Amino acid sequence: KAGVTQTPRYLIKTRGQQVTLSCSPISGHRSVSWYQQTPGQGLQFLFEYFSETQRNKGNFPGRFSGRQFSNSRSEMNVSTLELGDSALYLCASSPNGPGEQETQYFGPGTRLLVL
């Protein structure tokens, strides 16, 4: 089975622009979560989607948004980019709902650099 795929892998943007990142979960997985990884803050949860509905949201400003499509693929969008948004954005999928026992499988990430 193919793993979680994320596109693009690398991205350079300037302040004030917006960006859309894409994630395709493992085939058959229905839940997708997004995380931001930075050297200073570590791994921080952004949001989780299941059946096209946002089930949980981390403590990020409204500039960060996401959605999930009927085929479970997900996108996240960051508007009005700031320098501090430079990070590795990781997507993870799990088979069923957002249950505590579920193992999340991660993609390789999208490295975003904001200049």
Partner 1 sequence: AQSVAQPEDQVNVAEGNPLTVKCTYSVSGNPYLFWYVQYPNRGLQFLLKYITGDNLVKGSYGFEAEFNKSQTSFHLKKPSALVSDSALYFCAVRYYSGSARQLTFGSGTQLTVLP
User: Quick one: which of 93, 109, 112, 114 contacts partner 1 (CB under 8 A)?
Assistant: 109
- Tell me: cis bond preceding 108? Omega within 30 of 0 counts: no
Per-residue binding letters, 45-84, with partner 1 (x by CB under 8 A): x--x------xx-x--------------------------
Q: Which residue in 40, 17, 25, 8 sits closest to 106, CA to CA?
A: 25
User: Quick one: which of 33, 74, 82, 113 contacts partner 1 (CB under 8 A)?
Assistant: 33
**Is residue 101 involved in binding partner 1 (CB under 8 A)?**
yes
CA distance 101 to 113: 34
Site of interaction with partner 1 (CB under 8 A): 4, 6, 33, 35, 42-43, 45, 48, 55-56, 58, 90, 92, 98-109, 111
